[in-house]
């Protein structure tokens, strides 16, 4: 029952989404039809001049009534719409009564089609039938031709209704798709901002943490009155880490644009810098930018932790290409205790949590804990 009382969609009633070519064609047909109707009335010699002027005014009034009918149906006002339709049909009857047959027929045909096209079916069917019946009963047709023409008018209106409903639904779906794409683009932009912030944070956190280790060591050496050469060595190391951090920041920015160097080269260089043993397994393949960055950051954080909490301990770095993932394992053989108040006392303890969050964002896992008298960090990420 709801289908009988339901109005056509607003998109269908307003012509929203109608191609420009179709709009031009519709406008052109309306102009040509109106012109022909006006010409037919203006050249009808059976009427006096003043009568023709009155008929032209009546035709213009019918056009205004149709326009008003279309406007109130957009607002879905059934009462005014039926009133305007009745006025149009009555105008057709009046025109027929005074002998203006063509304008009367046009008024009935337009009323029949518009009623079926723009009203709820419960009102559209009887209104369209009345309008078509006025045309069929008044104009002289055969016993079969008349009903066939009347049914044809109703079917034309219903066909236009179905066509406009389909177009309106398609346009509504298109609007929804555009809104979804816009929301997706905004979400992607926010995710990209978070990604950039995370990369810059990880680079700076690693670099500054390493510098703090060396500067704290330099402070302790100065307080204990140690040799200046040892202090200078720590300061030079801190400066080296600052340069390294700047280079890493630039590398992160390049990585965000997909311009990363091979992960193996980075791991090999990092292991050599820390005096660690490096080995790789499996067939090398290109990794996604996010995966490569995750491996880099976890390696940096794990090696920094070794330097802070187990200085001098032997370190092994293993990187393996597996079937549908890559494995990074960093293992050291030293105790996880640093001298009280020493360099390892710096840092906020967020490293493991940050590494684990990074792995989970990529659908991977990170394990970290004591192993065989030392400590192991094991990263697995899909690749």
Q: Which residue has the tokens 């406009």?
A: 164
* 98 contacts 36 by C-beta, under 8 angstroms: no
Q: Which residue has the tokens 């510098």?
A: 211
Q: Which pLDDT score is estimated for 25?
A: 84
Residues 128 and 227 in one domain: no
* 127 contacts 79 by C-beta, under 8 angstroms: no
Residues 307 and 352 in one domain: yes
Residues 326 and 195 in one domain: yes
Residues 10 and 128 in one domain: yes
Segments forming the whole domain that contains residue 77 = 2-180
Residues 80 and 205 in one domain: no
Number of H helices, E strands in the chain: 12, 5
Q: Quote the CA–CA distance of 83 and 20 in Å, as a whole number.
A: 32
Taking only Cα atoms into account, the Rg of the chain, rounded to an integer number of angstroms, comes to 41
Is 371 exposed, middle or buried, given 0-12, 13-18 or 19+ CB atoms closer than 10 A?
middle
**141, 160, 180 — which closes off a domain?**
180
Residues 132 and 220 in one domain: no
**180, 207, 231 — which closes off a domain?**
180
Q: Name the H helices within 143-258.
A: 145-223, 228-256
Q: Quote the CA–CA distance of 305 and 330 in Å, as a whole number.
A: 11
Report the domain count for the chain: 2
Q: Quote the CA–CA distance of 276 and 151 in Å, as a whole number.
A: 90
Find the CATH number of the domain harbouring 349: 3.30.565.10
* 315 contacts 303 by C-beta, under 8 angstroms: yes
Residues 59 and 136 in one domain: yes
Q: Quote the CA–CA distance of 25 and 45 in Å, as a whole number.
A: 32
Residues 121 and 150 in one domain: yes
Q: Classify residue 344 by its DSSP letter.
A: G
**What is the phi-psi region of residue 47: left when phi exceeds 0, alpha when psi lies from -120 to 50, beta otherwise?**
beta
- The residues near 270 (Cβ < 8 Å, ≥ 6 apart) are 276, 299, 300, 303, 317
C-alpha separations of 128 from 112, 118, 135, 144 in Å: 4, 11, 11, 19
**180, 210, 230 — which closes off a domain?**
180
Residues 252 and 366 in one domain: yes
Per-residue model confidence as pLDDT tens for the chain (383 residues): 566 878 887 777 877 766 778 778 878 888 888 888 888 888 877 778 888 888 889 889 988 999 999 899 888 888 998 999 999 889 888 888 888 888 888 888 888 888 888 888 888 888 888 888 888 888 766 677 778 888 888 888 888 888 878 877 777 777 778 788 878 777 766 776 676 666 666 666 667 777 777 788 788 878 777 677 777 777 877 777 777 677 667 666 665 565 556 788 888 888 888 888 999 998 888 888 778 888 888 888 888 888 888 888 899 999 999 988 999 999 988 765 543 444 443 333 446 777 888 888 888 999 988 887 789 999 999 98
The angle subtended at Cα 38 by Cα 36 and Cα 42, nearest 5°, is 115
For residue 319, the surrounding DSSP H or E stretch is strand 315-321
Instruction: Tell me the HSE value of 346 on the side-chain side, using a 13 A CA sphere.
Output: 20
Q: Quote the CA–CA distance of 106 and 50 in Å, as a whole number.
A: 22
Residues 176 and 193 in one domain: no
Nearest CA-CA partner of 132 in 156, 105, 108: 108
Q: Which pLDDT score is estimated for 326?
A: 93
Q: Quote the CA–CA distance of 357 and 366 in Å, as a whole number.
A: 9
Q: Which pLDDT score is estimated for 317?
A: 94
Q: Which residues lie across from 369 on neighbouring strands?
A: 376
Residues 196 and 163 in one domain: no
Q: Which residue has the tokens 């043993």?
A: 277
Residues 17 and 155 in one domain: yes
């Amino acid at each position: 029952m709801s289908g009988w009382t339901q109005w056509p969609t607003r998109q269908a009633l307003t012509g929203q989404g109608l191609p420009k070519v179709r709009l031009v064609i519709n406008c052109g047909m309306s102009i040509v039809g109106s012109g022909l109707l006006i010409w037919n009335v203006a050249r009808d010699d059976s009427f006096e001049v003043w009568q023709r002027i009155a008929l032209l005014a009546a035709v213009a009034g019918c056009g205004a009534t149709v326009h008003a009918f279309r406007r109130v149906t957009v607002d879905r006002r059934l009462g005014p719409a039926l009133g305007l339709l009745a006025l149009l049909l009555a105008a057709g009857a009046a025109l027929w009564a005074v002998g203006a047959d063509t304008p009367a027929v046009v008024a009935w045909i337009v009323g029949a089609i518009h009623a079926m096209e723009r009203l709820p079916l419960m009102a559209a069917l009887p209104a369209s039938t009345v309008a078509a019946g006025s045309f069929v009963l008044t104009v002289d047709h055969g016993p079969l031709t008349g009903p066939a023409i009347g049914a044809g008018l109703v079917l034309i209106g219903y066909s236009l209704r179905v066509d406009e409903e389909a177009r309106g639904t398609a346009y509504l779906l298109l609007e929804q798709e555009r809104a979804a794409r816009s929301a997706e683009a905004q979400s992607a932009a926010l995710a990209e901002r978070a990604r950039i912030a995370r990369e810059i944070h990880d680079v700076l956190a690693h670099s500054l943490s390493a510098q703090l280790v060396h500067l704290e060591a330099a402070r302790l050496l100065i307080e204990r009155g140690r040799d200046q050469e040892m202090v200078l060595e720590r300061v030079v190391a801190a400066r080296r880490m600052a340069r390294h951090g700047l280079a890493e920041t630039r590398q992160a920015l390049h990585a965000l644009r997909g311009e990363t160097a091979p992960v193996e080269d980075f791991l090999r260089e990092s292991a050599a810098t820390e005096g660690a043993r490096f080995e790789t397994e499996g067939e090398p393949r290109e990794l996604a930018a996010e995966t490569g960055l995750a491996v880099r950051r976890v390696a940096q954080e794990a090696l920094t932790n070794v330097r802070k909490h187990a200085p001098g301990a032997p370190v092994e770095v293993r990187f393996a290409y597996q079937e549908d993932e890559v494995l990074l394992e960093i293992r050291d053989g030293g105790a996880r205790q640093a001298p009280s108040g020493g360099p390892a006392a710096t840092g906020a303890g967020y490293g493991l949590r940050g590494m684990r969050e990074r792995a989970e964002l990529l659908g991977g896992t990170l394990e970290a804990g004591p192993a065989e008298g030392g400590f192991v960090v094991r990263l697995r990420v899909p690749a």
